[in-house]
Amino acid sequence: MSPLRIPGPMRLVGASLAGLLLVCLVLPLVALGWSSSIDALAAGLAHPLFAPALWLSLQTTLVSLALTLLMGTPLAWWLASSRSRLSQVVAVLVDLPIVIPPAVVGVGLLASFGRQGLLGPALASLGLSLPFSRAAVILAQLVVASPFYVQAAANAFRKVEPDTLIVARSLGASPAEALWRVALPVVAPGLVAGASLAWARAVGEFGATLLFAGNMQGKTQTMPLAIFRALETDVALAVVFSLVLAAMGAVLLAAMRAGPRLRALARGQGR
């Protein structure tokens, strides 16, 4: 079948619109690099706000990612294997945090776990308080970021053919061996991609964290919140912090892109 032929004027309009979108996507990153300098970068990295915010971001996002993997993987497996109406309802509920504003998530968390919230009195009776704590940062990241992993993991699990597991069992493999040797190689790329997206989303989480956990240096101030604080007094410092987050995202994206190629190269060398 021949490719779809598009008239010349339409191609020109399409190329112009595509180029305009590309400029909108790339220009902010270029402007960040253009607005900074080596001296400003060094000063920003040595600023008292930087190290605590970066360390807190890494700590909390790794914990929230671990919780996402622990709880999200069985949920994704069930969503992929079930055809019930309940699973369809749950799938919609899981996707909701993706489409609603993070600020709404933050207010919802306060309404759930705040002192006057739905579960606040019960937590207070146990001597527990979630809002404006490090646990609140982790919970906000978990709610906002985990749907990205569950969605990707469920799509990956749907690629596993049940017949292949049955054949593996008929050849003497245990259920665990069938999952490990047959299903895992199929779903692993999707799980890794989903985990990477969830972690990136957690690193960039701002609105829900600000409303539910606050912006307290050394306690709840992650990198996005440190950028927000820096903007109030020093735009150059905010630019440096933004460059650090952009660099982290670029490294993650490069690793995701290189992963399939490295696996293909390893398989080729193993033959």
Any domain includes 59:
yes
159 φ, ψ to 5°? -80, -10
Any domain includes 72:
yes
CATH number of the domain encompassing residue 200: 1.10.3720.10
* Cβ-proximal residues to 173 (8 Å cutoff; 6+ apart), any chain: 181, 182
pTM score, whole prediction: 0.87
What's the number of domains the chain is made of? 1
Any domain includes 232:
no
End-to-end CA distance of the chain: 35
Q: Report pLDDT digits (tens) over 218-253.
A: 999 999 999 999 999 899 999 999 999 999 998 888
Tokens for 271, please give them.
Answer: 């033959």
Q: Report pLDDT digits (tens) over 99-143.
A: 999 999 999 999 999 988 999 999 999 989 999 999 999 999 999
Any domain includes 36:
no
Predicted confidence band of residue 67 (pLDDT cuts 50, 70, 90): very high
Range of the domain at 158: 49-223
Any domain includes 217:
yes
Any domain includes 86:
yes
Does residue 263 carry a pLDDT above 80?
Answer: no
Any domain includes 57:
yes
Is residue 197 within 8 A of residue 148, CB to CB? The reply is yes
Instruction: Please count the CA atoms within 13 angstroms of the CA of 1 that sit on its side-chain side.
Output: 3
